[in-house]
Amino acid sequence: MSQDEARNSAILRRTLTAISWIYALWSGLVGLTAMSLRGSSEVAIDPRFILLHAALLGLAGTTQWRPMKGALLWTAIASAGSIGFVILDLRRGNVTAALVDGGYVVVAAILLYISRRQA
């Protein structure tokens, strides 16, 4: 692999890292908000699942920054969590939230495929 291809793969991995961290931050904020509203209203999803998903997204992003052992596995687990939330969102009829949750899966798959193909 040439030096340019290695640099492009690193850029794609770091782009996935940034996207994972943004999704993790957003999920964490939503989870904390749901946790604070827990007593006042009925929440559709247990906030602990949302916070766990945020942690998985953050871990996936951290392992992608520099290719660590298990980076692909953690990204796949975070993507599976996103798919789970897509299913829950669609069952509640919230298509917009399903599109946002499913966006991570699509972007992660594309960036992983392109960066691994070059590697």
Q: In terms of residue numbers, what domain contains 70?
A: 3-118
pLDDT of residue 69: 87
Place of tokens 């392992």: 63
Tell me how far CA of residue 114 lies from CA of 3, 22, 79, in angstroms. 16, 21, 17
pLDDT digits (tens, 9 = 90+) for 20-33: 999 999 999 999 98
pLDDT digits (tens, 9 = 90+) for 49-98: 999 999 999 999 999 988 788 899 999 999 999 999 999 999 999 999 99
pLDDT of residue 84: 95
Asked if residues 34 and 47 have their Cβ atoms less than 8 Å apart, the reply is yes
The total number of structural domains in the chain stands at: 1
pLDDT of residue 29: 95
pTM of the shown model = 0.88
